[in-house]
Structure 1
Amino acid sequence: MPRDKEGAQRKVFMLPTELVERVAAYQARTGLSSEVEAVRRLLSDALRMRDDWRSITDQVVDRMKRSEPLVDAAKDVVVGHPAVATVSFEPRQVVFQMLTGETLQISESGDVTGEHGNQKLNYPGF
């Protein structure tokens, strides 16, 4: 597919008319200037609602593998995420708790530990 800019890809999708009308209604309600931005936000929101502790941790760790500092990666992925109840930035690590009860710690070195109740969570980490 042709690329518009680095980190973005152009995609073409056929959508039912009813869905297109709902996107247009969302765009009008939110005051977004483009249909593309409306679709982008709706898709992002829908995917975020499906995230669990593992997918959120994967996103943070993937950003760290691309040399993004832990604090920046966690701010972009964890802060404001609809599935995350709390986030704390501690020396050399980020700790967050999911609405479903899991607690995860990610260190600057990429080590991941977690628990749900008394059960340890298994995450391969870096």
Structure 2
Amino acid sequence: MEKARPKHLDLPKIRLPIPGIISILHRISGAVMFLAIPVVLWLLNGSLSSEAQFDAFRAFVGHPLVKLGLIGLLWAYLHHACAGIRFLFLDIHKGLELETARYTAKAVLVVSLMLTAIIGGVLW
């Protein structure tokens, strides 16, 4: 019996399980952090060069859109770290059961968002 295969993938209709979503977000957060390295180094340089550049740095970082971008970068870092710890446990065959994998994936998402809200709220 020949199975009818779709001719194209309708990505919005594909329902990915929560561990798959966490895995994709882990990759996206890593890519975002990698691409943000030049910006972060530029900001660090601006904060350390001179007093005038530090004042310009504070004015730039004080803008609400820049703050939101930095909070997004903070979330990427925290999510990547939490998901990385989860993946390290999966690599040593801990938490491979379906229920445990779903629970830890949800925990990664909740913990990374809570830490981002707490740290971002303190830094805002």
* TM-score of the aligned structures, taking structure 1 as reference length: 0.25
Which of the pair is proportionally richer in strand?
1
Instruction: From the two aligned structures, give the one with the greater helix fraction.
Output: 2
Greater relative CO (CA pairs within 8 A, separation 6+): 2
